[in-house]
Chains A and B, each alone.
Chain A
Amino acid sequence: MLIKIAWRNIWRNKTRSLIIIIAIMLGLWAGVFLTGFSWGMYDSRIDSIISKESSHLQLHHKNFREDYMAKHVISNLPDYENLLKSDASVKAFSSRLVVSSMVASSRSSLGLRISGVDSTAENATTQLHKKIVEGSSFKKRGRNQILISKKTADKLKLGVGKKLVLTFQDVEGELISASFRIVGLFKSGNSLYDQSNAFVQKENLAPLLKLNGGVQQIAVLMNDEREMEVLQTKLQTIDQNVKVENWRELDPLMEYAIESFDSSMQVIIGIIMIALAFGIINTMLMSILDRVKELGMLMAIGLNKVKLFIMIMLETLFLSFIGAPLGMLLAYITILITGKVGIELTSMESGMEMMGFSSTVYPVVLPDQFWKIGIMVFVVTFISAIFPIMKAIRLDPAKAIRKV
């Protein structure tokens, strides 16, 4: 009977109940959608880090990342190549020569990290060929070809077909200069990456570095990230002078950004929940103040405080039970649609790319967030109802009955 009374009570003032149901619905929708949207942004960034930039794992000589000197070489390359070729969890890998270089055109100069790659392996690992926006990828004919980013080309005021001069130290520390011809311009969607990277062919760079076998870097792309740590451990055991790092370790800033994403989402969801709590308190308080006489009568005829608590709590939970699933459904539909078509943030494009984020965001459904936020809504509803309920419980039935 208490359930029946509570259910019917919420429909006594339809407008008021609908307003709070809509508030719960929008609160939940906003919370779920916002996390889906933000995670979509990070997810595409992580995806891009893995599939287009650093891959899942990278191997370097243990000292290489300290000074990026060409002399820090992974010497036992065949051991790694054999393992990587035979491991089913590996999708592709690219062994690279990496050198820090000064790049000069007739008009300008700047610093770049030059990667000497095998075109086929690199395309399979980082889809380099798909990033070309002008010119082409490496051609079969022609020595000393270079791919630079569109951004670098603009800075150097150079275009496809033009030459530039690379100056770097070989493995012995001697300064070497060589001229390369630009065959293509690439754009990865991450300005920082574009501004600091250029690609040449491994066979052209190796003799310049005076390197006979061995590479500075091996990037490994996996079929499934869940197997990353197993392979990392396996690779690490081959040579203690080679350090195997995963994408999180390679990009601690991204790791930090993901952690701060979690906390900033919690703050935003917290604010939404506080707003929701005040909405519920206000609605339930109005509902109780409207029924003082009736509540007094119920207490007079024998409804004890526990039952009164249950009755009003049920009313609040019913509002929540209607609003929350509707909010979840709305969020699910919104994320499903926007997750397919994407949300264009054209006005923020340059800023987003500067941070490595794509300007088209595809929100993702996070089942965990659905339940977490759903449970939070119920907890907030429950806690918010307590203050109005206490107000009702403290009513003096004798006075309440006479209330006009």
Chain B
Amino acid sequence: MKVIEVQNLHRIFEDGNQQIHAVDGVDLDINKGEFTAIVGPSGSGKTTLLNMIGGLDSPSSGSIFVAGEEMSKLSTNKLIDFRLNNIGFVFQAYNLIPVLTAEENVEFTMLLQKRSKAERAERTLELMNKIGLGDRMKNRPGELSGGQQQRVAVARALAPKPKFILADEPTANLDSKSTANLLDMMAELNEEEGVTFIFSTHDQRVIDRAKRIITLEDGKVISDEIIQK
């Protein structure tokens, strides 16, 4: 089942008199349950593509359908709601809310969805246990290691039950052990619960775990490979 459908996507940035084609005619589909890495050198257009798929940036031309909805047709407010209910984000620098505890960070997106208190509490506990931080619920981000913070970020992304999770260089700030733990956890979520993950990454450790690798260069898809494991 297609979760994302990208059709002839272009993103052009103006730099003085120069036009930079960050994404140049990309077509791709992502299906439910994929564990996809978008790879490529710096400036290849990975982040731009991810931003557009995540509804954080608008294409210059072309279309992106997420769960059958064309994102560029949504108003700003509807797009925010759409992101809340359909897309989970994991950022390179964790980006947790520093004044909230781990538990409250996970609960936050469900609160925006206006879920009941009981439902929020149940899912938060479930997710915190799943990421192995059931005993660190009351800790604020500053009291957690980088790896632990990124796990909380994954739990927060999963909390509103999105269609897929976009992870932009999620392991860039982590040491080997934390990277391995995080990838194990994500792979487990993918395999056991069918959570769809899309990474943009340079990290070979992530690439090695991916089931599909899409390589970009100069804004174009130069290879799209399904890895048989």
Contacts and interface: CB of A to CB of B under 8 A. Distances in A.
A398 B22 CA distance: 15
Contacts of A401: 56, 91, 95
Given A302-B160, A398-B57, A401-B91, A294 B97 contact: yes
Interface string B149-163: 000000011001000
B211 interface: no
Interface of A: 1, 4-5, 8-9, 12, 293-294, 297-305, 307, 396-398, 401-402
Contacts of B56: 300, 396-398, 401
B156 A304 contact: no
A1 B77 CA distance: 20
A262 to B, nearest CB: 45
A304 B75 CA distance: 12
Nearest to A402: B47
B100 interface: yes
Nearest to B94: A297
A300 B98 contact: no
A11 to B, nearest CB: 8
B54 interface: yes
Interface residues of B, number: 30
B111 A304 contact: no
Contacts of A4: 99-100, 104
20 contacts: A1-B107, A1-B108, A4-B100, A5-B100, A9-B99, A293-B93, A294-B95, A297-B89, A297-B91, A300-B56, A301-B84, A301-B109, A301-B157, A302-B84, A302-B85, A302-B160, A304-B77, A304-B80, A401-B91, A402-B47
A299 B99 contact: no
Nearest to B84: A302
Q: Which of A1, A5, A12, A294 has the most CB of B within 10 A?
A: A1
B80 A303 contact: yes
B190 interface: no
Given A5-B99, A297-B89, A304-B112, 7 more contacts: A4-B100, A297-B95, A300-B54, A301-B84, A301-B156, A301-B157, A401-B91
A305 B80 CA distance: 9
